[in-house]
Chains A and B, each alone.
Chain A
Amino acid sequence: MPQALGLARVEAPSPTPTVSTDELRRDLRLIAEMIDPGARVLDIGCGDGALLAYLTRQKGVDGRGIELSQSGVNACVAHGLSVIQGDADRDLDAYPARAFDVVVLSQTLQATRAPRRVIEALVRIGRRAIVSFPNFGFWKIRLGLLLSGRMPISDLLPHPWYETPNIHLCTIRDFVALCDELEVRVERSLTLDRHGRPYALDPRGGLANLLAEQGVFVLSGRTSIRSET
């Protein structure tokens, strides 16, 4: 069964009830650092619950998760996390506006059927949304396509074209353009190189789009009160 959510996280190690920062995947660690203690957090595509478990135990957040794969959900709940089986395309409409302080969508946007609607839902139900996704404009992907003429396969995009769950890939520039179109505020952005090291490059610039393997964006809705970040 293809697991459309939690692209990279489905390969993460089995869930552990106590997670230290060291064990947390690098991009998740960055996301965790952006979240205030005690916040109400919804992690969409929470995989095995590594981020949720970390946030709940280390930061005392009121955390919930949505995960597509039933095995992921069951593992999360069996570890005391509040997680439901569901998907980002179908199940976000049910939530009321501003139900959460932070909504996290990590490495999942590209696997949704309607990313545009999903982004709108994120900034509706969360005061802030943190979105991370693989950058299809990354130089290795461009070069690979140019030289081999085959669909790119990388650590972040490990599936061959015929069985990939990643049906809506985009570049960092594409993403920023969509945010502009939706009048979604980009409060903060980080670009990560292939080792997961963050660089504060201007996401609208060509360099970020070329050098970043993935992007992490903090978004807020157009009606949102200006954030302190």
Chain B
Amino acid sequence: MSTLAFRPRPRSFENWPGHRLFVREPMRLDCGIDFGPFTIAYQTYGTLNAEGSNAILICHALTGDQYAADPHPITGKPGWWETMVGPGRVLDTERYFLICANVLGGCMGTTGPQDIDPATGEPWALSFPVITVRDMVRAQKRLIEHLGIESLFCAIGGSMGGMQVLQWAASYPQCVFSAVPIAAAARHSAQNIAFHEVGRQAIMADPDWCGGRYLSLGRKPARGLAVARMAAHITYLSETALHRKFGRNLQDRNAVTYGFDADFQVESYLRHQGSTFVDRFDANSYLYITRAMDYFDLAAEYGGSLHQAFSGTRSRFCVISFTSDWLFPTSESRQLVQALNAVAANVSFVEIATENGHDAFLLHEPELFETLRGFLAGCAEHRGLSR
């Protein structure tokens, strides 16, 4: 179609570390499309035991990826959950077999809108089907089956990762021995949808977005994506943390400049967050994945009552929220716990006091680590996992 000689493939994932599963059999998506074949890019850590009973699925958040515990191939930064995953750490690679897969629609190797649509030979862009959290989980189920795992010892994740955990527990209860949704909710709130819409509009307002066809045209909506990231980043922090970190401090100057340069440290910080983000993330992926989160409403899938989603569940749940998280506040977790109580599920619920806001699940939070350690140890005992 395009006559442009310059048609950059944005990434060369072929050289990136990790595994790839090519799924030939198409998969029916929530939007009604039979999608496939497609690729799932994933990482594993540790070893699957002979019984296949020690597998933990780590579900990543909106802008996360499969590199939970090794350096990011583009930025070179440590894995996003490196504090959690490793030998002797909470997700102990000497004890568990850990799997982390890039979500469907992502941009780190799993099929997403930047990949080539075999029908046209062009990047999918907006002709990529709209996917849901359930579709992401369906794809992960294919991966788990491929790995020969009948039942996960644990599904764990924060934010959108927590949504996937809940979807796993609802869709495949017999495959989830324990479920740990952290800083998550059973539905995306109006406020959260609103913030996502701001981000999407920022991307789509960028002239370089070109109706989504930027890759075919050799362009990149970097400014729009950066603004989307800046707006979203504010929602991941608490007001207290922002104030503590930056206050009204000025950036490399002694007085305001009476202009629109980044006078304040907080502006400089956000600009940095935005500009580094565009190096590693695809704008259309951002549109698709935020949409998947917006569409997430577990109760709606089960006739409007959340507890029906968990009816008869035998999974052990550990619901965790953070006091200063206003994006996925404790009240959302509490509703989830009430629904789990309504079916007398085995549930633990911990709210952790922190100033780190929604992002707390990514940071060094000793109480989070202790909680998870204890919960997983208890589950391992019930599962009969040897030390």
A residues in contact (CB < 8 Å) with B: 40, 62, 64, 70, 73-74, 76-86, 91, 94-96, 99-100
Instruction: Tell me the nearest residue of chain A to B343, going by C-beta.
Output: A96
Given contacts A74-B367, A74-B370, A91-B338, contact A81 B344 (CB under 8 A): no
Tell me if A84 and B344 are in contact (CB < 8 A): no
> With contacts A95-B341, A96-B344 known, is A84 near B370, CB below 8 A?
no
User: Which of A62, A84, A86: most chain B Cβ within 10 A?
Assistant: A84
Within 8 A of A (CB), among B15-29: none
Provide the residues of chain A in CB contact with B349, threshold 8 Å. 73, 83-86
Assess the A73–B341 pair: CB atoms within 8 A: no
With known contacts A84-B337, A91-B338, A94-B341, A74–B381 Cβ distance under 8 A = no
Count B interface residues, CB 8 Å. Answer: 28
CA distance A76 to B367 in the complex (A): 12
**A residues less than 8 Å from B49 (CB atoms):** none
**List of B residues within 8 angstroms of A80 by Cβ:** 374-375, 377-379, 381
Q: Complex formed: what's the CA distance from A84 to B344 in Å?
A: 12
B130 within 8 A of A: no
Tell me if B352 is interfacial: C-beta within 8 Å of chain A: yes
A100–B370 Cα distance when bound, in Å, is 28
B→A interface (CB under 8 Å): 316, 318-319, 337-339, 341-344, 346-353, 367, 370-371, 373-375, 377-379, 381
Contact of B338 with A74 in the complex, beta carbons under 8 Å: no
The answer to whether A77 touches B344 (Cβ under 8 A) is no
Identify the 3 closest CB pairs spanning chains A and B, nearest first.
A80-B378, A78-B374, A84-B349
C-alpha gap A91/B342 in the complex (Å): 10
Contacts A64-B346, A80-B377, A80-B381 known; A74 to B341 CB distance under 8 Å? Answer: no
B347 interface neighbour in A76, A79, A84, A96, Cβ under 8 Å:
A84
Closest beta carbon of chain B to A199's beta carbon, Å: 36
Determine the distance from Cα of A40 to Cα of B314 in the docked complex, in whole angstroms.
14
Of all chain A residues, the one with the shortest Cβ separation from B335 is A94
CB neighbours (8 Å) of B367 from chain A are: 74
Contact B371 A77 (CB under 8 A): yes
Determine the distance from Cα of A128 to Cα of B337 in the docked complex, in whole angstroms: 23
Distance of B317 from chain A, by nearest CB (Å): 8
Known contacts A80-B378, A95-B341; can you find 6 more A-B pairs with CB under 8 A?
Answer: A64-B346, A70-B353, A74-B352, A77-B375, A80-B377, A81-B348
**How far, in Å, is B316 (CB) from chain A's closest CB?**
7
